Amino acid sequence: MAPPPPQRKNPSRGPAVTGGNGRPPRRMASRDAAERAAFFARREAAAVLRRVLRGDATRRSAGSIKSLVYSPTVRNKRATFALVCQTLKYLPILKEVLGSSGVLNSKWKKQEELVVVTAYDILFGQGTAVSGSAEQLILANKDILSSALDRICAKRKVSSVEDLVGQKTAVKPKPRFLRVNTLKTTAESVIEELSKIHMVYKDDMVPDMLVLPPGTDLHSHPLVTNGKVFLQGKASCMVAVALNPKPGWKVIDACAAPGNKTVHLAALMNGEGSIIACELNKERAKTLQHTVRRSGANNIQTVNGDFLDIDSKDPSYAEVRAILLDPSCSGSGISTERLDYLLPSHSRDDQDDASTSSRVMKLSAFQKKALSHALSFPSVARVVYSTCSIHQAENEDVVNAVLPLATSLGFELATPFPQWHRRGLPVFEGSEHLLRTDPEDDLEGFFIALFVRKAANGGVEEPSEDVAVEVPRKVSRRRHGLRTFSSLRLSRMILCSNRVLW
């Protein structure tokens, strides 16, 4: 265990020591500042932990651990991130210790996350504490908690707390990818600034993507905070580039939050045309709004509503030319980067075959419905379906199920980034057009399918000029049903990018 927290000197032992100007020595001021910083970091960590645990319990998370910590509302991001991750790592032990000692009584149950975070920090972390109700609770019961911890170790016949915690999956270091926001600056300008302190070079496949060494932390860099660059993975950026919307087009981002792909679309369109960005979850819609504001894009309308509620035959959407569909998925391709192995649900998931779990099957059913709906818009020429999942049920199986409908509507599968080596699983004819990325490529696990509508003359409508796309090939034909939805409620919810609906 960590050494006990430093104790304040007893004032009765003598007068306080002061500097020549009557102020406490710098060391004392520094200690007080550290204690205050730890005090507030615990409260920020408790707020994030509450959202993480509730989202994990209901499987309706408002975001990953990282995205919640690095949201605009968290001020001390580095300390908060460390506290949340470490508390989750020790969470089963902390709950057992607090439960067996009786410290976490009904009075503190409503502040359980704060008590747990504080218990971790004082028992296993820095041990720095100031006057605060949760801090005083843990300090007053520290001996009781330590005894409970010793009993647990003895019962399980281990010599240290680390043996109780066990090994957690480590994140393999990956390059740090940056997407330059061309609405505000240029890649050359960003390279010139970053190369003063970092090794940086351009990616050879994704336009305006820069690569830096693993572990490079730029979350507080002015280029990031002012929206000139976005900390966005290469695989994620490949999605918008595959859609390749033209300046002046009307585009829908069907499941838009947190908005990185949305604002990437705006940059690819040079800020021209219009983008309707839909997000059903209210909290995630707030994040989407923040991302749009930070990007400086003025051609994005945000919608706190369901993409499936749009009537594709409504005249308001008759000019939609491209749709990006990145729907809710299991996130299995980014689970390590998301730090999902720290979540309580992770051990439960390991007991079953996650790829065929009931949750994945429900997600797959929704994804098929959403993709069918995207293909039903009368003027849409390009549809990208993407997930951050590695499961066939959410990827190839979805595309294969919708192919008969796509064919009947004049769509064929095209091949985004034909130079990319990793394609779809060979489970149906035409899967070679699909694209997969994998951690073996130093990327997240993503999946991309590009549907392109054939023109009346038999060619492909609006062929890509910036990204090589192979000519679509033959696909199988079967009939498939289609359901349309009323647009009245959703049409009233469309917002300008500088407004908020709630």
Q: Indicate the residue type of 56.
A: D
Place of tokens 């932390």: 217
Average pLDDT, rounded, for the chain: 81
Active site residue 388: yes
Does 255 appear as a known binding residue?
yes
Single out the residue of 58, 443, 295, 339 nearest to residue 287, CA to CA: 295
**Is 279 marked within a binding site?**
yes
- What angle (nearest 5°) sits at the alpha carbon of residue 390, between those of residues 339 and 433? 140
Is 350 part of any known ligand binding site? no
CATH code given to domain 176-231: 3.30.70.1170
Task: Give the range among 45-49, 125-129, 488-492 with minimum mean pLDDT.
Answer: 488-492
Q: How many CB atoms sit inside 10 A of residue 476's CB? A: 11
> Among 59-63, 209-213, 277-281, which is the least confidently predicted range?
59-63
pLDDT band at 238 (very low <50, low <70, confident <90, very high): very high
Residue reference for tokens 């920020």: 44
| C-alpha span between 450 and 158 (Å, rounded) | 54
Question: Which residues are CB-contacts of 128 (< 8 A; sequence separation ≥ 6)?
Answer: 5, 6, 34, 35, 38, 121
Per-residue pLDDT for 479 more than 50? no
Q: At what angle do helices 142-155 and 112-123 cross, to 10 degrees?
A: 80
What pLDDT score was predicted for residue 19? 47
Is 85 annotated to bind a ligand? Reply is no
DSSP conformation class of 71: S
For residue 299, what are the contacts with CB-CB under 8 A and spacing of at least 6? 266, 269, 271, 272, 273, 274, 275, 497
> Which residues have a Cβ under 8 Å from the Cβ of 402 and sit 6 or more positions away?
368, 371, 372, 375, 480
Determine the angle formed by the axes of helices 26-58 and 133-140, rounding to 10 degrees. 90
Per-residue pLDDT of 67-118, as tens digits, reads 777 777 788 888 888 888 888 888 888 888 888 888 877 778 888 889 988 8
Tokens representing residue 72 in the block: 């605009």
User: How many CB atoms are located within 10 Å of the residue 458 CB?
Assistant: 6
Does the pTM of the predicted model rise above 0.75? no
The residue extents of the domains of the chain are 21-165, 176-231, 235-495
Tell me: is residue 474 an annotated ligand-binding position: no
Angle subtended at Cα 310 by Cα 308 and Cα 312, rounded to the nearest 5 degrees? 105
Whether the Cβ atoms of residue 460 and residue 416 lie closer than 8 Å to each other: no
Question: Residue 20: pLDDT above 70?
Answer: no
β-partners of residue 449 are 385
DSSP per position, 336-347: TTTTGGGSHHHH
Q: Distance between CA atoms of 261 and 79, rounded to whole angstroms?
A: 28
What pLDDT is attached to residue 205? 95
**CA–CA separation, 13 vs 45, rounded Å?**
37
Instruction: Write the pLDDT tens digit of every residue in 390-436.
Output: 999 999 999 999 999 999 999 999 999 999 999 999 999 999 999 99
DSSP 8-state symbol, 379 = T
To which residue do tokens 């190369």 refer? 195
What is the predicted pLDDT for the residue at 107?
78
pLDDT at 62 over 70: no
3-state secondary structure 224-262: HHCCCEECCCHHHHHHHHHHCCCCCCEEEECCCCCCHHH
DSSP letter, residue 318: T
On the question of pLDDT at 485 being above 50, the answer is: no
399 membership: H or E segment, kind and range:
helix 396-408
Residue 488 burial by CB count (10 A; 0-12/13-18/19+): exposed, middle or buried?
Answer: exposed
* Whether residue 301 has pLDDT greater than 50: yes
Q: Is the Cβ–Cβ distance between 213 and 198 less than 8 Å?
A: yes
Contact 445, 333 (CB under 8 A): yes
The pLDDT assigned to 166 comes to 64
326 labelled ligand-binding: yes
Give 388's pLDDT tier (boundaries 50, 70, 90). very high
- What is the rounded distance in angstroms from the CA atom of residue 386 to the CA atom of residue 288? 18
pLDDT (average), residues 322-347: 76
- 437 band by pLDDT with thresholds 50, 70 and 90: very high
Per-residue pLDDT for 363 more than 80? yes
Identify the CATH class of 235-495: alpha beta
CA distances for 324 relative to 66, 130, 277, 399, 425, angstroms: 24, 50, 10, 14, 22
Residue 33 CB partners (closer than 8 Å, separation 6+): none
**How far is Cα 225 from Cα 32, in angstroms, rounded to an integer?**
29
- H helices of 102-155, in order, are 112-123, 133-140, 142-155
Q: Please choose, from the candidates 47, 50, 125, the residue with its C-alpha nearest in 3D space to the C-alpha of residue 86.
A: 125
DSSP secondary structure, 158-191, as one string: -SSHHHHH---PPPPP-PEEEEE-TTT--HHHHH
CA–CA dist 254, 323 (Å, integer): 7
Dihedral in degrees, nearest 10, Cα atoms 105, 111, 115, 117:
150
d(CA 199, CA 483): 51
Which one from 237, 278, 329, 388 is the annotated catalytic residue?
388
424 labeled part of a ligand binding site:
no
